[in-house]
A and B are shown apart, each in its own frame.
Chain A
């Protein structure tokens, strides 16, 4: 029998993204590309055929000049805990070949590129469009292959890929902890950070173990300004957002006309 996942005790890595700090510079995207060997094509303007593990969306309050406001919203994989927090995220439960799985140790949803055979059911299941398909053979022009990191295997055409919360960094951090003989202690915040959190120049992205009181995310996620994207679907994302702007919050989920964000009874 599979061990029952202990939601309260286990590590659950997550993110808190402060939208009021995001300037839309795109450093998280580029940091991620470089870290994770994300391929690039001469034409990347079709955003539905452009591999981004984290994509910064531009939200608009729709009001006329000069009342207009915009807000940038970086969207990585939400690493959903799934309905009732059982790890059956929308994608994991549908993958026919166990090419994507929920790691009970970290709460991170993995993707095994060499296992995936490209049925794209997970993409249909994911409401966040976090999953990207390799429609093309990746090509690294000139000497660009030399910049590829050995920590993340380059993908091949015909498979799905997505943000892994830089899981390889977790593994490296665990290895390091083992060599330093502290394998029994929980990893510190600085031991394991994602590339986007590290690249973000404004400190918009905070990353850590949501269940660890010593990590900043533990406290940040309880802010009254915190919300999650499309949480009414029951996906239970581990990526939280902060904003003081109600219009942004409203665009982060769907509400009937008489409903107000933050005032609904929520399942945790």
Chain B
């Protein structure tokens, strides 16, 4: 899974597969971080007011 695991090889299959994986994980991570951070900022700026979102 990580390049420091001993079965890791820098070959095409590993790069494609793990590339895809880490790519997906980064998107999920970034998306989540964005939502959480933005919510904190929003909460501060709206002074704790609820927001209509529908």
Interface residues of A (CB under 8 A from B): 1-2, 98
**Contact in complex: B7, A1 (CB < 8 Å):** no
- Distance of A49 Cα from B10 Cα, bound (Å): 40
Which residues 7-46 of B have a CB within 8 angstroms of A?
7, 9-11
The complex places the Cα of A1 from the Cα of B14 at a distance, in Å, of 10
Cβ distance B5 to chain A, nearest Cβ, rounded Å: 9
Q: Are A98 and B10 in contact (CB under 8 A)?
A: no
User: Could you tell me the dominant secondary structure of chain A's interface residues?
Assistant: loop
CB contacts (< 8 Å) of A2 on chain B: these are 9, 11
State A105–B9 Cα separation when bound (angstroms). 18
Provide the bound-state CA to CA distance between A98 and B10, in Å: 16
B11 neighbours in A (Cβ, 8 Å): 1-2
- What CA separation (Å) do A234 and B11 show in the bound complex? 25
Instruction: Write 6 A-B pairs (CB below 8 A) sorted by A numbering.
Output: A1-B9, A1-B10, A1-B11, A2-B9, A2-B11, A98-B7
Query: Which residue of chain A has the shortest Cβ distance to B13 in the bound complex?
Result: A2
Bound complex: CA A98 to CA B11 (Å): 16
Q: What's the minimum C-beta distance from B21 to chain A, rounded to whole angstroms?
A: 14
In this complex, what residue of B is CB-closest to A101? B7
- Closest CB in chain A relative to B54 CB, distance in Å: 43
B38 to chain A, nearest CB (A): 37
What 6 pairs between A and B have smallest CB-CB spacing? A98-B7, A1-B11, A2-B9, A2-B11, A1-B10, A1-B9
Residues of B with C-beta under 8 A to A98: 7
A115 to chain B, nearest CB (A): 10
Which residues of A lie under 8 Å from residue B7 when comparing CB positions?
98
A2–B11 Cα distance when bound, in Å, is 7
CB distance from B42 to the nearest CB of A (A): 42
Query: Once the chains are docked, how many angstroms separate the CA of A57 from the CA of B34?
Result: 63
Closest chain A residue to B12, Cβ basis:
A1
CB distance from B22 to the nearest CB of A (A): 18
Inter-chain CA distance A98–B9, complex, in Å, is 13
A2 to B10, CA, bound (A): 8
- The smallest C-beta distance from A74 to any residue of chain B, in angstroms, reads 33
Please report the C-alpha to C-alpha distance between residue A148 and residue B9 in the assembled complex, in whole angstroms: 37
- For the complex formed, measure the closest distance between the CB of A102 and the CB atoms of chain B, giving whole angstroms: 13
A2 CA / B7 CA spacing, docked (Å): 11
Residues of A within 8 A of B9 (CB): 1-2
* Distance, CA A2 to CA B9, complexed state (A): 7
- A98–B7 alpha-carbon span in the complex (Å): 8
Q: Which residue of B lies closest to A115 (CB)?
A: B7
Tell me how far the C-beta of B9 lies from the nearest C-beta in chain A, rounded to whole angstroms. Answer: 6
**For the complex, what is the distance from the CA of A1 to the CA of B10, rounded to whole Å?**
6
CA distance A1 to B9 in the complex (A): 6
Smallest CB gap from B5: residue in A: A98
Chain B: minimal CB distance from A75 (Å): 30
Contacts of A1 in B (CB 8 A): 9-11
Chain A residue with the shortest CB-CB distance to B9: A2
How far, in whole Å, are A98 and B13 apart by their CA atoms in the complex? 14
